[in-house]
Amino acid sequence: MREVVAETSRPVMLYSVGKDSAVMLHLARKAFHPSPPPFPLLHVDTTWKFRAMYELRDRMAAESGMELIVHRNEEALAKGINPFDHGALHTDMWKTEGLKQALDAHGFDAAFGGARRDEEKSRAKERIFSFRTANHVWDPKNQRPELWRLYNARKSKGESIRVFPLSNWTELDVWQYIHRYDIPIVPLYLAARRPTVERDGMIVMVDDDRLPLRPGETPVWRSIRFRTLGCYPLTGAIESEAATLPDILREMLLTTTSERQGRAIDREEWASMEKKKREGYF
Amino acid sequence: MKIPSDTPAPAPEAAAEDIGAYLARHECKDLLRFLTCGSVDDGKSTLIGRLLYDTKLLFDDQLDALEADSKRLGTQGDKLDFALLVDGLAAEREQGITIDVAYRFFTTDRRKFIVADTPGHEQYTRNMVTGASTADLAVILVDARKGVLTQTRRHSYLAHLLGIRRIVLAVNKMDLAGYDQAAFDAICAEYAAFAAGIGIRGQLAIPISGLAGDNIAGPSMHMDWYSGPTLLEHLETVEIDADHARRAGFRMPVQWVNRPNLDFRGFSGLVASGRIAAGHKVRVLPSGAASKVTRIVTLDGDLDEADAGQSITVTLADEIDCSRGSVLVAADDPPQVADQFEATLVWMSDEEMLAGRSYLLKLATQTVNARVQAPKYQVNVNSLEHLAAKTLGLNDIGVANLTTDQPIVFEPYRDSPDLGGFILIDRATHATVAAGMIHFALRRSQNIHWQSIDIGPEALARLKNQEPALVWLTGLSGAGKSTIANLVQKKLHRMNRHTFLLDGDNVRHGLNKDLGFTDADRVENIRRVGEVAKLMADAGLIVIAAFISPFRAEREMIRRMLPPGRFLEVHVDTPLGVVEQRDVKGLYAKARAGELVNFTGIDSPFETPDNPELRIDTLRMSPEEAADEIVERLLG
């Protein structure tokens, strides 16, 4: 993070309100203490996040003393793009396009993201400093070698870098860090009884009346929690009784499914993530 | 969808005990980073897939996906094809090869691991070097049926070159070699003889089968003649040498000056080696200023002391000059400072090295300009022979001298990868073109000092009653550079200015008559002219230089050799179509006919100046007018 601040002109930290963002923000505070982290937080909002996420986002921004920039893709808003009717287009427009718009509008030339290499196969090869062309395109065949602790942050005008400080962390590392430093997280990560419906093989939480119920669907109360948080109709919950951090950690050590399994986006097509990333998805 | 609580527990260690105790133990686990080297057919990806599988690091959905993929793309019939787990990019899956470095993570009861999975082909040497740069140990795979091959030697050499001290020779596919001890022993003996020759000591050989799982996590049922550790046992217990960095002298490259308000000025960085405590005496290099550490500041409160590997912010007792690129060091044990080195270079770019060209060199947090001299030799990575070489291309490894434009703080690579390893960055494309490892500083760098002279450039210029300058005319052959340069000099001469004209053709009759027209020679041609022009400007002259000088990098290099404002870049801009039609010297015709190679504009590029001080459009302006404009700009 210090290398990025020293070698780029306008860095920003992508803040998705998830557990990885929580860890990244804490690390930033460590890296620059006693100064506040010298960059703003950017939340690329889809308007379809869980309510609890919006609450924590505003609280954390206030506590860290950092500027919070919230960007919504106006075109997606105007067209009423939503996860129910538009599927992949929802992710493209709100997240992929929304992020590009926000980076361009503010002239950010470096953006920290919380992605980890252990999440997904195409991430395993991505650099910690990952370059994007002026059109935000990632070229996996043309990545800069990263040797020792040396990062080359030079770029031409218009190009930008996505930086992944948690690249070498595992999911267990993330939870352990949150436990060790008692970092606030969205309560949805902890189990509680919540209204749900089962849909396309996923348990979907009925967060509010933004979720149109299908004929025959009635919300059922289940004890659930989330391993990963995205747009709520696209993020599946798991049934769980793990209501505390140590419970989560125990459950995680016993679990036999990977955390991205709850995300509809990955299963859509073979090599879907790599394709999305080449197009500019974070 | 499967719900975890319905499935049997695969990791009994956590279920059985208090989670708090487990966490405490996990926090204390150390980390081993290792590298697997082998070619596609050696079963490297299969081995890593097997390690993940045997250590219960695969989840049900990943296994389901693997089963489906194995049926569709696998090469193992009905069996699981573990290689598909780790070959990440779609292109790699299709071609069945690993192109890049992929990092994998797994944990056992004893240790955490990061595996760098790197490709084995010779054309991916740079990827292997990248993976090796952060590894403590290398697993070198050999196919039991094929024995020690050229690639085995190459992988071992590269691992050793990058300073990896722990080597495991994994003799794989023992299942296909009938689990035969004699075959294994023969391979071990052959490898030992080779390894000793290049300085590898204490390697461990293990007979394994990645596909069948022999000697990976559990001992083999088929090789009772082998009594050594399994691969995983060895990885879990081998000694890690983080202590080495802790024992060395204190060094902390400064990344960032931490200045939240006027009352606090701290220096943030990662401790590269040694130990530091409040009260310790330190020096700031390269300036050499001394002070004392007053505080070690962190978010969790001040520390009494900090060790290698910790990221900290320190405050000093004195207000001394210290910024990004400075290195804080133990006052009684400082590293060296120099500007000329011998180093091993691994070339990583499609564009070959140009001796004499200025690259950015980044070492720790220092970034300087550096020029590489022609290689002393290149190493054939297969035979390890030293070959004569004029340049280095992609994946070539060679030894060369480098000169930096300002002194840097360094240590030999074998003592400190943090202060001895560097990268070279192309100034135009910003690509990382090479990785380097410093051997030592050249003695002349330490023994040749600047002699101070009482009559300086200012005094010489004052006597001539003029401001020295370098007017640099660049452009295609036949664009009109020499004509305009000649007119500029005549005009200045009439105005009683002291001038000298350096002309491209003329210097090639003398100073540069040993140089040809390859890219490397063009770079050297311009470097020499630049040095001469600088001396003349120091002598107080207005120097006019007319050179094609096709590359941006060299023109920028000369700009930086002169004080700000003294370099006037003039682009004599005549379109190729026009100069070719004029063809005053008949050179374009020859080049088109193939009688002249490396001719600028024809088969060698001309890089147009981005921001010249002046651009002369010769289609709209006569040479006379052009010369007037240059003189006006120079004196006006």
pLDDT of residue A4: 95
pLDDT > 80? residue B120 = no
- Residue of chain B nearest A5, judged by CA positions: B256
- Give tens-digit pLDDT for B39-49: 666 777 778 87
Residue A75 banded pLDDT, cuts 50, 70, 90: confident
In chain B, what are the helix, strand and coil shares in percent, each to the nearest 5?
30, 30, 40
Nearest residue to B435 via CA among B129, B163, B135? B129
Q: Is the pLDDT of residue B121 over 80?
A: no
Confidence of residue B185 (pLDDT cuts 50, 70, 90): very high
Question: Residues A147, A152, A153, A158: is their CA dihedral positive or negative?
Answer: negative
Residues written for chain A:
282
Closest CA to A222 of A241, A249, A235: A241
Quote the ipTM score: 0.83
Contacts of B81 (CB under 8 A, 6+ apart): B46, B66, B69, B70, B73, B74, B75
Q: Cβ contact (<8 Å) for A117 and B105?
A: yes
Q: For residues B153 and B150, what is the distance between their CA atoms, to the nearest angstrom?
A: 5
CB contact under 8 A, B60 and A124: no
Please, what is the angle between helix B552-561 and helix B519-538, to 10°? Answer: 20
Which of A90-104, B328-342, B359-373, B553-567 is the least confident region?
Answer: A90-104
Residue-wise pLDDT for A152-183, tens only, equals: 999 888 888 999 999 989 888 898 899 889 99
- What was the pLDDT predicted at B392? 92
Tell me the average pLDDT across B423-439.
93
Residue B12 has pLDDT above 50, yes or no: no
- Amino acid identity, residue B151? Q
What pLDDT was estimated at residue A279? 55
What is the pLDDT, as a whole number, of residue A109? 92
To the nearest whole Å, the CA of A99 is away from the closest chain B CA by: 24
Q: Looking at the annotation, which residues of B are catalytic?
A: 549
Per-residue pLDDT at B204: 93
Q: Categorize the per-residue pLDDT at B361 as very low, low, confident or very high, splitting at 50, 70 and 90.
A: very high
Residue whose pair of structure tokens reads 């290149």 in the numeric block: B378
Confidence grade of residue B279 (pLDDT, cut at 50, 70, 90): very high
pLDDT of res. B83: 65
Supply the pTM of this predicted model.
0.76
Angle between helices A19-32 and A51-64 in degrees, nearest 10: 0
Residue B470, pLDDT > 50, answer yes
For A219-268, what is each residue's pLDDT tens digit? 889 988 888 887 777 778 888 888 888 888 887 776 655 554 444 444 44
Rounded CA gap, A138 and A123, in Å?
12
Q: Which of A60, A63, A71, A66 is nearest to A21 (CA)?
A: A60
B4 pLDDT band, cuts 50/70/90, is: very low
What's the CA gap between B252 and B268, in Å, rounded? 9
Pairing verdict, β B264-270 and B614-617: unpaired
How close does chain B come to A79, measured CA to CA in Å? 33
Task: Give the residue from chain A lying closest to B259, CA to CA.
Answer: A35
Query: Token pair 């030079």 is at which residue?
Result: A154
Read off the pLDDT band of A55 (50, 70, 90).
Answer: confident
What average pLDDT does chain A have?
81
What pLDDT score was predicted for residue B16? 44
Flag if B421 and A33 touch (Cβ within 8 Å).
no
d(CA B159, CA B136): 10
For residue B216, report the phi and psi dihedrals to the nearest 5 degrees.
-90, -75
Rg (CA), chain A: 19
- Nearest-by-CA chain B residue for A3: B255
- pLDDT bin (cut points 50, 70, 90) of residue B444 is low
Give the lowest-confidence range in A74-88, B150-164, B194-208, B605-619: A74-88
* Span B59-110, pLDDT tens digits: 666 667 767 766 666 566 666 666 666 655 444 555 544 457 778 888 888 8
By CB atoms closer than 10 A (0-12, 13-18, 19+), residue A101 is middle
| Long-range pairs of B527-531 with CB within 8 A, sequence gap ≥ 24 | B527/B356, B527/B371, B527/B554, B527/B557, B529/B502, B529/B558, B530/B554, B530/B557, B530/B558, B530/B561, B531/B561
Question: Residue A243's closest CA among A197, A189, A196, A279?
Answer: A189
Instruction: Mutate one of B129, B254, B258 to test the A interface: name it (highest A CB count within 10 A).
Output: B258
Q: Are the Cβ atoms of A256 and B130 closer than 8 angstroms?
A: no
Burial of B454 (0-12, 13-18, 19+ CB in 10 A): exposed
For residue range B514-567, list pLDDT tens digits in order.
888 888 888 888 889 999 999 999 999 999 999 998 888 889 888 888 888 899
pLDDT at A275 over 60: no
- How confident is the prediction for chain B on average, in pLDDT? 85
